[in-house]
Amino acid sequence: MDNNEVYIRISDLSEANRPRERLIKEGANVLSNGELLAILLGSGRKGLNAIDLGNQLLKRFGSLSGIQKADYSALVEMSGIGKAKAAKIKAAVELGNRLSKEKIELDPVISTPADVISLVGYELVGKEQEELWVLILNTKNRLLGKDRLYKGSVNSSSVRVGEVFKMAIRNNAKSIILVHNHPSGDPKESPEDVNLTISVISAGKLLDIDLLDHLIIAGSDYVSIRKAHPGLWL
């Protein structure tokens, strides 16, 4: 640190510029991600105030979703974080995860890809490996359940199509939706993703269980294979 650089503590800021006071007065939505993290952290470290430390966290892990993916041990390794602060961060992330899944209805209606993203996107985007989930729907497109089916490589050669329909058959479902993530950050469908979709559509016709869509989630974006390849459903 430059000896001529002035270290500004949170307490040195005017009350109107302190994160906690701004949250109380103006609401949490006006704060930057670094300021929100600063409130969780409570304090910084030598040479960095809590806001600076929060911004360093974001820089180190790339984004809030990067912090979500990070192991507890990786957070503890950062200078100025420690066990207590790391625990607070992971607890806050998990609360956000649970809030994203909390619904007024226990069996929400799935009408659009956006409904699927709202239901499972937050949780899936935080996974470090590919996971394939199957959403099970009734005749009114109400969610009957979620089957977290595969973890690792998700493609037509590694996924057993019979397993995809196992929970749907058991629950007398009318339709299913496939959802999987791309940890790389690119939601673009691969040829293997398309081949898997074709296999599931074909099997579904024999079982009288429709595949409504196959969504790929990556970061803040997603791809609907049905929208990208409508001809597969003809």
Tell me the domain boundaries of the chain: 10-101, 113-233
Q: What is the pLDDT of residues 157-199, one digit of tens each?
A: 578 899 999 999 999 999 999 999 998 889 999 999 999 999 9
Question: CB neighbours of 62 closer than 8 A, spacing ≥ 6?
Answer: none
Q: What's the whole-model pTM score?
A: 0.61
Q: How many residues does the chain have?
A: 234
Please tell me the predicted confidence (pLDDT) of residue 156: 57
Same fold for the pair 10-101 and 113-233: no
Please tell me the predicted confidence (pLDDT) of residue 192: 92
Top pLDDT among 128 and 99 is at: 128
Confidence grade of residue 103 (pLDDT, cut at 50, 70, 90): low
Average pLDDT, the chain: 87
CB of 230 within 8 A of CB of 198? no
Q: Is the pLDDT of residue 107 over 80?
A: no
Please tell me the predicted confidence (pLDDT) of residue 3: 47
- 208-225 mean pLDDT: 95
Confidence grade of residue 106 (pLDDT, cut at 50, 70, 90): low
Number of H-type helices and E-type strands within the chain: 12, 5
Tell me how crowded residue 191 is: count the other CB atoms within 10 A of its CB.
9
Question: CB neighbours of 30 closer than 8 A, spacing ≥ 6?
Answer: 22, 23
| CATH code for the part of the protein at 10-101 | 1.10.150
Confidence grade of residue 85 (pLDDT, cut at 50, 70, 90): very high
Q: Which fold has domain 113-233?
A: Cytidine Deaminase; domain 2 (3.40.140)
Q: Return the residue matching tokens 């809590």.
A: 50
Q: Is the pLDDT of residue 229 over 50?
A: yes
- 125-153 mean pLDDT: 88
Q: Return the residue matching tokens 């294979």.
A: 225
Euclidean distance between CA atoms 118 and 134, whole angstroms = 15
| Most confident range, picked from 10-14, 137-141, 229-233 | 229-233
Cα 120–Cα 124–Cα 125 angle in degrees, nearest 5: 115
Top pLDDT among 101 and 132 is at: 132
In this predicted structure, which of 32-46, 79-93, 95-109, 128-142 has the lowest mean pLDDT? Answer: 95-109
Confidence grade of residue 104 (pLDDT, cut at 50, 70, 90): very low
Q: Is the pLDDT of residue 155 over 80?
A: no
